Structure formats: C-alpha cells, structure tokens
C-alpha cells in the first residue's frame, strides 16, 4: 500500500477524495493497492481483502459525508469448462517404493509429466475426445479447478492449480495441470476416470463501503464491480448520516472473490 498515491489526488470542496476512498472535512486519498504503473504482482487467494477504515466523531449535525470512488480493475480470468463428462487421469501422491500402490500411493513408475516425477494433478488422456471443451493454459496458474463426477469422492471439489506444464515430458501443450497443497495429498490415483467434469473458476475484484454507528455492527452501504478497461470516477457519492452526531466509522475494502459459476 503506497503511503503517497501517485496517480490520484483529492477533490471537492467538502473534503471528499478520489479513487475509492474518503475523507471528512479534509482532502485525503486512501489507496488500496498499487497506484503506480506498471502494477506489481502479488499473490492473493479468494476472499483475501485489503481495507482501510477510520473512526471519528461528528460533532455537529450534518446530512452527508461525501466521497468519490475509482476502481481500475486488471484483466481478470473468466470461468470455462475444460472437460465435460469425459475421461480424466488423476495422478496421486508418488511413493519411492516399488509397492507404492499397496502403500496408498501411485505405482512407482507413474508420473504426471514423466515417469516417477512425484507430481500430482489432473491430465487429459486424449485431447481429441469430444468431451474436451478447452485445454489448460499457462494463465490458469493460481486459479481454482472444480472437479465433479470423479469416481473417488476425494478427487471431487476445488483444487488450486500451481502450474500448467507446457510441452514437457510425454504431455502435449495444455493437457495437464499440477495441483497445490493440500489437495495433492487427497488425490486418489485413477486413470481414464470415465465421466469427469473439470471447470476453471475465474475471479473478480469487488469494492465495498461500510459504515458503523457508535459501537454497533458494520453495515454494507455500497458495492462496485468495475469492468476491465472501464475507468470512471464516481463522484458525489455520500453516506447519509441524517443529522447524526457522535462516533461514526467508515470502512472501504477491495476483495478478491471467486466467480460463482
């Protein structure tokens, strides 16, 4: 979080500010994230939040606390199907003994990319199968993969993708994905599981504003999801305080959320 925003300045005669945030009787800009170009890369997981909040006392009765809001959203991944009710290989935890299968792991010579590589994840045994809707892409790294229809119950559910190998070993481009801890520990080895659906779930940034009166609970007041490439200063927004006097708190947050479908 920058201590001094680079590309945003306060505005308005009532002390409200640009780019997400608020002030009260002062010119103030609060920046949730980088406000410089080029943006740096940070690793967020779904439901991670960055926020700023302030508590102050309204000493004289006023009707409005004004603020402006600005979100600049990067290009976000969208949801899509990889395989729909088709064959999928599940490669489980590899063991270094020739009796790996008996010990609960995979046969010693079987790997995700090359023989015995100790990688775990999912693989499309035939990219020409009619059930294949799309292939994995390098940009799927860090995204969530929903598995359904697997024979082994533990293989179903969300798995986070840690890498997408590209033309390595015996695989073709986009044919497999490595899964990240802890999901790789729960994968049950199964080749050509016949009716599995793999779906990549995209994500979005949602901005929200909250208020709290005195020692009460936080109440959501405003939310915003901005389209990629749509940069618009939303000015003259306001909290309606209805001539309230006393302790008042405001919170602004940006939250990374997994798409619902």
pLDDT score for 93: 60
Q: Considering only CA atoms, which of 129, 112, 258 is closest in space to residue 195?
A: 129
Beta bridge pairs of residue 196: 86
Residue 190's alpha-carbon distances to 87, 89, 91, 247, 260, in angstroms, are: 10, 6, 7, 60, 28
Residue-level pLDDT at 168: 80
What is the domain-level CATH number for residue 3?
Answer: 2.60.120
Its pTM surpasses 0.85: no
Host H or E run for residue 183? helix 183-186
- pLDDT of res. 99: 40
**pLDDT band of 41, cuts 50, 70, 90:** low
pLDDT above 70 as % of the chain:
75
State which residues form the domain around 158.
80-201
Average pLDDT, stretch 162-191?
A: 82
Same domain for 23 and 98?
no
Tell me if 118 sits within 8 A of 157, measured CB to CB: no
Number of domains in the chain: 2
* Among candidate residues 201, 222, 251, the one where a domain is terminated: 201
């Amino acid at each position: 979080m920058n201590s001094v925003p680079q590309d945003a300045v306060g505005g308005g005669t009532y002390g409200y500010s640009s780019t997400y945030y608020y002030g009260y009787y002062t010119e103030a800009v609060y920046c949730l994230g980088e406000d410089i170009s080029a943006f740096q890369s940070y690793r967020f997981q779904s439901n991670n939040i960055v926020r700023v909040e302030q508590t102050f006392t309204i000493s004289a009765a006023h009707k409005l606390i004004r603020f402006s809001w600005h979100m600049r959203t990067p290009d976000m991944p969208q949801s899509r199907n990889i395989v729909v009710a088709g064959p999928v290989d599940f490669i489980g935890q590899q063991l270094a003994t020739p009796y790996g299968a008996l010990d609960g792991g995979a046969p010693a010579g079987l790997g995700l990319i090359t023989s015995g590589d100790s990688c775990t994840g999912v693989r499309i045994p035939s990219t020409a199968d009619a059930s294949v809707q799309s292939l994995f892409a390098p940009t799927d790294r860090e995204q969530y993969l929903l598995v359904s229809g697997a024979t082994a119950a533990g293989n179903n559910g969300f798995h986070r993708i840690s890498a997408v190998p590209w033309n390595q070993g015996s695989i073709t481009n986009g044919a497999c994905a490595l899964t990240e801890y802890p999901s790789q520990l729960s994968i049950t080895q199964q080749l050509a599981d016949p009716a599995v659906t793999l779906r990549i779930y995209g994500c979005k940034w949602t901005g929200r504003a909250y208020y709290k009166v005195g020692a009460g609970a936080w109440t959501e007041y405003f939310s915003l999801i901005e389209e990629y490439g749509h940069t618009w200063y939303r000015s003259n927004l306001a909290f309606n305080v209805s001539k309230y006097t006393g302790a008042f708190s405001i919170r602004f947050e940006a939250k990374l959320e997994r798409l619902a479908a």
